[in-house]
Amino acid sequence: MSKNMDSYKITRRAMELILEEVDRRVSNGESQSAISRLVGCDRATVHRWYTERIVRENTSFRDMVRYLDRLRIPLVKVFGSGDDLPPPSPDRAMTVLDKAIASTLVAAAKALGKDYDDVSRELESLDLPDVESLLKGREPMRASDFSKMCRAVGVSPEAVLKRASGITEE
């Protein structure tokens, strides 16, 4: 990339890189829901990226940088020179509390006679593989997923957090 880049070129390059990474991840079997959770946007947004091949030009620069960062696309690929650019953030590792929250939600669902399918049907933003992955403690939940999951199971978030905190202290 040239030394002098205007904002249009930067945005276009960032969009190309995001679309390439979404294609790669979907080709490798990752769901659009999982990608949307990773980057912090709606599943419909990732679906539009994948099917329409477009990232809206009115996407804020802040969101664009967040997408690049969470997809682990180095900024050097966008700007061309990485001398003073920070590396992408590391993926957030599962914590003991994340696992305790997942197991608490599973126990509550079982106590209420619900399985993964039942929980998944009540959620619009998460499909069955995503629900299973979150409830089996394979990946951390965003706060919005946690709230939706509690609603779908039929328990209060406060009760889940209190029980999960108790588990981690044991």
For residue 139, tell me if it sits in a domain: yes
Would you state the pLDDT for residue 82? 55
Q: Are 143 and 101 part of one and the same domain? A: yes
Residue 5 has pLDDT above 60, yes or no: no
Are 114 and 159 found together in one domain? Answer: yes
Q: Which domain holds residue 49?
A: 7-79
Residue 44 belongs to what H/E stretch? Answer: helix 43-52
In order of 11, 79, 135, 162, 169, the CA distances from 18 in angstroms are 10, 14, 28, 38, 41
What gap in Å lies between CA 92 and CA 100, rounded to an integer?
Answer: 16
Q: Using the 3D structure, point to which of 19, 52, 79 is the last residue of a domain.
A: 79
Has residue 2 got a pLDDT over 50? no
Is the pTM higher than 0.75? The answer reads: no
In this structure, the answer to whether residues 15 and 68 fall within a common structural domain is yes
Q: Is the pLDDT of residue 71 over 70?
A: yes
Residue 157 has pLDDT above 80, yes or no: yes
pLDDT one-digit tens code per residue, 79-125: 776 555 555 555 667 788 889 999 999 999 999 999 998 898 888 76
Query: Is the model more confident about 17 or about 129?
Result: 17
Position 127 scores a pLDDT of 75
Confidence at residue 60, expressed as pLDDT on a 0 to 100 scale: 76
Domain CATH number, residue 27: 1.10.260
Confidence at residue 122, expressed as pLDDT on a 0 to 100 scale: 85
State whether 12 and 48 are in the same domain.
yes
Categorise residue 114: left if φ over 0, alpha if ψ from -120 to 50, beta otherwise.
Answer: beta
Q: Into how many domains does the chain fold?
A: 2
Looking at the structure, tell me whether residues 23 and 61 fall in a common domain.
Answer: yes
The per-residue pLDDT for 88 is: 54
Within-domain flag for 91: no
Last residue of a domain, one of 54, 79, 104: 79
